[in-house]
Structure 1
Amino acid sequence: MIRRANPADEATIRDCAEQAYRRYVPIIGRKPAPMVVDFAAQIKAGHVHVAVDGDTFQGFIVFFPKGDHMLLENVAVLPSAAGRGIGRSLIGFCEEQARRGGFTAVRLYTNEKMVENLTLYPRLGYAEVARRTEHGFSRVYFEKIIGGPGA
């Protein structure tokens, strides 16, 4: 089940981000952006959803409208829940919410040193559209055209 996050989820979301991204710290040379965001503010804004199995937290996703598209800013799954399709389900949920909102595209970015993402996102239908350095991070931008409502 995927539901909107609430303030009581913040510590669990932060822990999930820590577990999911800490392996990249030595590769990138510092904590990746998803480890240092203001989750409380994102939860309050309604941008965070969590995947749960009963009462057991599995992962989370952060997305919100940005201009003419939905921006998928962060998706993370607990390592103990990895490999069960939870990340794909969360991304699919974001895409469906974008369609319902009348958006025709979902955009996202990843650090170029998170090499598995560079092959994962194309397998999910995302096309690379740009590479930029922002805030000291080398990022690869992807976009998926999803159509409009009812597509």
Structure 2
Amino acid sequence: MQDRDDAITPGWVADLAEIGELVSGAYGHYVERMEMLPGPMRTDYAVPLAAGQIEVLRADGRIAGLLVLVPEPEHMLLDNVAVAPWAQGRGFGRRLMDHAEARARAAGYDRITLYTHVTMVENIEIYLRRGYVETHRAEVNGLHRVYMAKRLG
């Protein structure tokens, strides 16, 4: 079965290779800046896929973006949002973020959280403009992370 383009749907096992390519393309340019692999490039996406935590946005017959949403006891964790380089500038990132927040609300959460690396200043700015606030910073597995949260109305 083929999903229609521009739909955000659960990922499939058959999507794993394309998900890996998308993540490498979306985060690869940070390797030099960070002097290490970004967290999303270290993830085995078979694990969140098996847990039903990955959703993908398809466009032009391929995966244009992805979300990894992890339900936590007190909040929904937006573990990853990424858009393929070829699909950037088309509003897909905004659609994915809107979808993540709507999914968190629908699941009964009043807060969504995320984290990003301190060197990903462009992403931090995007999240701030969307109403996220920094809650704290911490080092995890050698990654210096900025943790952020947004109250959902």
TM-score of the superposition, structure 2-length normalised? 0.93
Q: In structure 2, the residue corresponding to 1:20 is in which secondary structure?
A: helix
Which one of the candidate residues 52, 56, 70 is aligned to 1:64? 70
Classify the secondary structure of the residue corresponding to 1:30: coil
1:122-141 equivalences in 2 (<5 Å): 122-141=128-147
Q: Give the counterpart of 1:18 among 17, 20, 24.
A: 24
- The runs of 5 or more residues in structure 2 that have no matched partner are 1-6
How much has 1:56 moved relative to structure 2? 2.6
Which residue number in structure 1 is paired with residue 3 of structure 2? none
Of 77, 80, 83, the match for 1:77: 83
Q: Does 1:97 pair with 2:73? A: no
How many percent of aligned residue pairs carry the same amino acid? 40
**Which one is further off, 47-56 or 21-30?**
47-56
Q: Point out where structure 1 has 5 or more consecutive residues left out of the alignment.
A: none
Distance 1:132 1:3 in 2: 32
Query: Match of 2:114?
Result: 108
Q: How far apart are 1:53 and its partner, in Å?
A: 2.3
Q: CA RMSD in A?
A: 0.9
| Structure 1 residue ranges (4+ consecutive) displaced by more than 4 angstroms after TM superposition | none
**Residues 75-123 of structure 1 deviation map (CA, whole Å, 9 limit, x = unaligned):** 1111111011101111111111111110000000000001101211011
TM-score by length of structure 1 reads: 0.94
Report the CA distance between 1:54 and its aligned residue. Answer: 5.6
SS of alignment partner, residue 102 of structure 2: helix
Match of 2:10 in 1: 4
